[in-house]
Structure 1
């Protein structure tokens, strides 16, 4: 006999032995009971399913446009070796992060996601600080995702124009204006009702998958390398064995640096966590969507890496092409022009869908954090539009920040590359902070949800934490060293991300620590309800890791007991 959801344990900010109740006497739905036990009232319609959540997540992952946008890093740092066996090594760490994140999602299915988990799991007194760091790092990764994706899409559109008309050379203001236009269109689309968004993203994700499969077939089938006096495919010995000297570091470090492409490409699997409050059966469907996105994305992504690695003609030519877009330059090396334009068209459409998925996910993160007053003017960003029942203000707040970040385009290719590396490092720090706390500071006190790793939980979490601790400094390395290292060739990641996070830390020390207490409870619950009080945005005194309550979820206003 199936267990009622009210019998499933959750990791809550509510005080021990406490639980939510419905003041009007109406019973909670199964998903609303879970959310209420976590301290939040339901504010969205639950119109996402496992499949549609996966579709949004896979659209955000956007393998084809992500690969096309980051080919400069994946191929440029280590060549084909980094794209083949390097991808497999990176996927071990990434899949570990995804599985550990899914376990947290099952226990705490809220839009706040990793931020909520960090607050609840942190040691006593450290919860608000853990939530503050995790939340801001996650937000930086989310808010730079759409502009970086849309910049890549705009660059491919302009590259296609250059292929059609070789005399056309885009100037800096053209990719800026085109990317801004795409951002504004996505802002309008992301403001639509949840049901419409689910349908649109289902279509977009389906197109992403179909386009990826088509490209995987078209490139090896249509390559004209033989007409250029080359074998149809490069030998496996060369593809797997030669490490391109794209940096002045050792070959091993070069391979690690190429992981920025893998990490950025595979960073969308956290989207189901942030959509949990709009998903039915969230504590099972959302973690499954996380793992499914990472596994399917990793497999298809590696296949795409292999196809390109075996057909690329000249890596230097790809990286230094006047087209300004390495993927377009690669295609011109091994395919006739008609196929080049066809593949670019598929990639551009897939990239447009991916950018819109990124904006949806980012808006849910902003809403969740504004609900807990993390941002200035949070009262504006946490509003849900009465007609669409979506966080429209949060959408346009992120859109404005994203457009401002596009000013990096005028600093050249190195500075705009910070959009990609910031997204990778910011997401990784946010992904792993609660995982690290859960593995090394919580231990057996963690209350798992219905989807969990069992005995493999701690080992998998340790692998995830170790991988991220290795990669964070690597992602900040420049490609050149010694006398060749100049301000123009520095890695802007450490400067941009580091400066922003330093400002967040200073804000914490000077002011935020006095008022920010982590996730805020906004439902009526028993301890206050017994006194007739209605809790509206007041913090739980136990928030921030003072204890892991694992409270049972109430059924029709009665305490269900501890899970």
Structure 2
């Protein structure tokens, strides 16, 4: 992978130069009055509204917090090891993360080229061109907002469940009720909304601390479980740890594909740096680096923890069907002394709190970016306001919080709450894949690469990522049982909870929204949109051949 320095800002005050995709011909007319990041954003059509107080590290911090490996694995055990047994944690994880890393790398390439808060939505519009761009942006944007708005509720529901499970471990006579879970989850949502409404620098510091805690808690957990396990013998044979134990009514192969839901939900937070690009210095380099750092570190740490679970768990059925109501808590009690189990559970709860807050921040930036382009219709006006005191999208934060709390009413529907996890995985990978597919299928070598790119590997990596998504997404809608065993309570409601709103969104676009929604909006004067390449308006650029779209001049660092 290379970093092509197509343009740099010059500062005499010690501020680092900014690497950007745009050559001199693409930069705004008032370049001298802007920083390099502001000029790059202006060339994309937006004015700078946030303070750029995130770096590659703090963007990674939010992203790693959003991924939240420890609480994510803890919360989704039902859908991984609970479907296919230990195989889901071992070779199932290894197979799936190879393709997930392909998707992350392709996304990083887009982030380097188009570092805006709109992220995937903006990229889909630009790559699809004037004719299809609005529809591509509309579908991508709404699907991405669905995963963002379900992120904090699902994480906080998992955190609340673990808190109440800890209470049940200490006091076995205590049995949590649905309304207690709902109230505690709502309380966590409100706390996160308050934190996410703070100034950018405060949020960055909070997430930096949260990421350090996440990493340390993960390492401590990885050490404690194998060293303090009470199992005799300590570890299961490899034939068990790498074998399929099918807990569904489907064939083994289908059960394994269904178990990828846990992996995809866990490994879906790496898009956060894309949405924070307008608050990040040197975003064309820092944002893609943060995306890849998150996906790579998550793949490694996640495999280690999942493998430890596969080698130490002794009774999967008891863990999944525990009276504690939380499989991670049941697993810890099964393999560790009670005090050690409570300590690890406590660390997981702290990490879940940090993860929920990271989800809330990312969701608010997505909501703001889409409202800025009037995606939400009449609601867009208040949602795109930036608070004049904190310089953050406070209205978007609280709007997402309200929607999240309403989604938590699914708690009272029993198994229906499971749908917010399936939605999180399906909506995320639909949004991830649309712009990548458009790039590899239609734009191809006319794609205007940023300073961070995949070079000749861009096409095969994109193809592998898209193929993986096409294969696995249908299986996330399968219930674990079928035939006579299928009841309303055991039904997988994902296709309804995700499909119905998306159907409404598509009908809305064709009936009305296509008349006024034209995709990402250009809201300041700039000099990028003069000529056209494949229907995309761009400025004359001596480094790009108008016929082929290929770059003829670049330097590599």
Equivalence for 1:237: 239
- Equivalent position to 1:547, from 521, 536, 540: 536
1:5 is the counterpart of 2:8: yes
Aligned counterparts of 1:57 and 1:298: Cα–Cα separation in 2: 14
Q: Structure 1 residues 173 and 2, CA, compared in 2 at 3 Å: closer, same or farther? A: closer
What is the match of residue 92 of structure 2?
Answer: 86
Find the aligned partners of 1:2 and 1:485 in 2 and give their Cα distance: 57
Once the two structures are TM-superposed, the CA of residue 9 in structure 1 deviates from its matched residue by 7.0
- Distance, in Å, in 2 between the alignment partners of 1:271 and 1:123 is 25
Q: State yes or no: 1:43 paired with 2:32.
A: no
1:5–1:34 Cα contact (<8 Å) kept: no
SS of 2:105 mapped into structure 1: helix
Shift of 1:149: 0.2
The answer as to whether partners of 1:19 and 1:551 remain within 8 angstroms in 2 is: no
Per-residue CA distance 1:310-360 (angstroms, 9 max, x = gap): 110100100111000000011111111000110010000000000000000
Whether the 8 Å contact between 2:5 and 2:19 is mirrored in structure 1 is: no
Q: How does 1:259-270 map to 2 (within 5 A)?
A: 259-270=260-271
The CA deviation at 1:482 is 1.7
Indicate conservation of the 8 Å contact 1:156/1:325, yes or no.
yes
1:351-372 CA distances to partner (integer Å, 9 max, x unpaired)? Answer: 0000000000000000000000
Does 1 or 2 have the higher relative contact order (CA < 8 Å, sep 6+)?
1
User: How do 1:35-184 residues align onto structure 2 when only pairs under 5 Å count?
Assistant: 35-184=41-190
Alignment CA distance shift 1:418-1:95 (3 Å): same
CA distance in 2, matches of 1:182, 1:155: 12
Per the alignment, residue 394 of structure 2 pairs with 392
Match of residue 433 from structure 1:
434
Q: Confirm or deny: 8 A CA contact 1:127 1:545 kept in the other structure.
A: no
Where does residue 208 of structure 1 map in the other structure? 214
Q: Residue 489 of structure 1 corresponds to which residue in structure 2?
A: 490
Deviation readout 1:115-140 (Å, 9 max, x if unpaired): 00000001551000000000000000
What is the CA RMSD across the aligned residues, in angstroms? 2.2
Instruction: Report which stretch shifted further, 469-478 or 112-121.
Output: 469-478
CA distance in 1: counterparts of 2:157 and 2:5, whole angstroms: 48
Give the TM-score of the pair, scaled to structure 2: 0.92
Larger displacement relative to structure 2 (264-273 or 482-491): 482-491
CA gap of 1:90–1:315, structure 2 versus 1, over 3 A, is: same
- The alignment status of 1:300 with 2:301, answered yes or no, reads yes
Judge conservation of contact 1:146–1:183 (CA < 8 Å) in 2.
Answer: yes
Deviation at 1:481, TM superposition (A): 1.5
* Distance in 1, Cα, partners of 2:181 & 2:388: 35
1:21 maps to 29
- Alignment deviations for residues 537-557 of structure 1 (CA, whole Å, 9 cap, x no partner): xxx89999732637669xxxx
What are the Cα deviations for residues 264-313 of structure 1, in whole angstroms up to 9, with x where unaligned? 00110000000000000100010000001000011000000011111101
Note the 1:347-386 alignment, pairs <5 A.
347-376=348-377, 377-386=379-388
What is the aligned residue count? 533
Distance in 2, matches of 1:175 and 1:287, equals 37
TM-superposed deviation, 1:27: 2.2
- State how far apart, in whole Å, the 2-side matches of 1:551 and 1:138 are: 33
- 1 CA distance for matches of 2:99 and 2:180? 38
Which whole-Å CA distance do the structure 2 matches of 1:544 and 1:475 have between them? 39
| Residue of structure 2 in register with 1:537 after alignment | none
- CA displacement at 1:84 relative to structure 2: 0.2
Could you tell me how far 1:509 is from its partner in structure 2?
1.0
- What stretches of structure 2 of length at least 5 have no aligned partner? 10-17, 543-551
The answer on whether the counterparts of 1:132 and 1:518 sit within 8 Å (CA) in structure 2 is yes
Q: Tell me by how many angstroms 1:5 deviates.
A: 2.7
The aligned residue for residue 509 of structure 2 is 508
> Corresponding residue for 1:196?
202
Asked whether the equivalents of residues 125 and 544 of structure 1 are also in contact (C-alpha less than 8 Å), the reply is no
Query: Hey, what does 1:452 align to over in structure 2?
Result: 453
Match of 1:499 in 2: 500
Q: Could you list the per-position Cα deviations for residues 9-38 of structure 1 after superposition, in whole angstroms to 9, with x for gaps in the alignment?
A: 7489xxxx775333xx85221111110110
Task: List aligned pairs for 1:390-429, cutoff 5 A.
Answer: 390-412=392-414, 414-429=415-430
Residue-by-residue CA offset, 1:232-275 (whole Å, 9 max, x unaligned): 1000111112x112111111111111011000001100000000
* 1:159 and 1:325 in contact (8 A); partners too: yes
Q: What is residue 478 of structure 1 aligned with on the other side?
A: 479
- Whether the 8 Å contact between 2:60 and 2:291 is mirrored in structure 1 is yes
* Matched position secondary structure for 1:284: helix
Q: Distance in 1 between matches of 2:534 and 2:71?
A: 40
Matches of 2:27 and 2:553, distance apart in 1: 9
Q: Distance in 1 between matches of 2:533 and 2:143?
A: 18
Give the distance between the partners of 2:538 and 2:493, measured in 1 at CA: 42
| Cα distance in 2 between the residues matched to 1:542 and 1:318 | 61
Q: Can you list the C-alpha shifts for 1:424-464, whole angstroms capped at 9, x where unaligned? A: 00000000000000001111110100000000000000001
Q: Which sections of structure 1, spanning at least 5 residues, go unmatched?
A: 528-539, 554-560
